Amino acid sequence: MRILSMQPKGFRCCAKNVGIKDTTLDFTVIASDVPAAAAAMFTQNRFCGPAITVGREHVSNGRLQAFVINSKNANVATGEEGLANVRELVGLVAEELNIESEDVLPSSTGVIGRQLPMEKLRQGIAGSGQQLQYGHLEQAARAIMTTDTYPKMHCCRIGNATLVGIAKGVGMIEPNMATMLAYFLTDASVDPEQLRVCLKEAVEPSFNMVSVDSDTSTSDTVAIMANGLAGEVNLADFRQALQDMCLRLARELARDGEGASKLIEVTVEHALNAQQAKRVAKSIVNSPLVKTAIFGSDPNWGRIAMAIGKCYEQDTIVPEKIDIAFGCIPVYHRGLAVDEGHLSALKNYLDHDEIAIHVSLGLGEEQARVWGCDLTYDYVKINGTYTS
């Protein structure tokens, strides 16, 4: 449930259009009144943008005071000029906020291979320090969007503190650390090292379990600031709240995947280890054949069997030990197809907008749950004209 009225103490933001691509919001600054404990995780794509390079440097000491984010331009594959532009951008924001440039974490998302329109950004940054206001974080959630169809934001209370999370990203999504862009703000007091551990623990079962199209972005960033203005909180409660919020945002990203009409949840149980469970689950949710079958409500469960079997490096997989079901409807049981009498019920189930696929490997006790979406005509349309 979204509770947009809750805001953590001491955070201000402004969101605006600087004309990077169109007239929608495309630039935001989120700042803390005081230096904050901070942690972040970034893409492992080797073609990462200079904002990732600078972001890694700036968060390495466990302290930040601002995020600056632009959408509509990823500033990736832009060489030394692109790196210089990021350093100039964070310097200009730091001057506006009267803080150190090393306390600003930058992010860019959008089209790859184009230099940032620096004159537009310079004009947009000018005066932004006076434009920051408390609240208005939903506008920041809008400003970071590219092909998202709606802003994604969640809030919750932890004792006397508040935690807010915003996220974007519905295409080029296959994380290997985090995925897309996601930012968390809290007025809880949390030690930087504890914050780093909490963020890593929250990312693995949530953002790292989402895939829209199996493509790991060049710009993925998940970051958190904790300014401590609400005092200390129970660490276990904070850890759980952050994990729950990451999970809710991750599901929303999958549901809003480019062109998607259905959310897919794949659970693989009774695997030998967690790595095997995740590998098989991702194989299923990433299969174009599985995704298109679900889009068309086609009860072609053989495609799931294929996706399990193509994990050929997992030589422990034995078809005669496997069970497959859609929701609570079994389709395959330990070597044999289940009675075709389920076909009508299965077709009706596949017409729903949330589809659950359950697989038991019959090998051990570990499991993994991942989320994705169907593959529709609109996905091709969106990505066939992305730079137009």
Please give the positions annotated as active site: 179
* 258 marked among binding-site residues: yes
* 109 marked among binding-site residues: no
* 168 marked among binding-site residues: yes
* 179 marked among binding-site residues: yes
> Whole-angstrom Cα distance, residue 228 to residue 270?
42
* 146 marked among binding-site residues: yes
**What CA–CA distances, in Å, run from 171 to 72, 100, 142, 210, 311?**
13, 34, 16, 11, 24
* 61 marked among binding-site residues: no
Which residues are part of a known binding site for substrate? 146, 168, 179, 258, 383, 388
Which residues are part of a known binding site? 146, 168, 179, 258, 383, 388
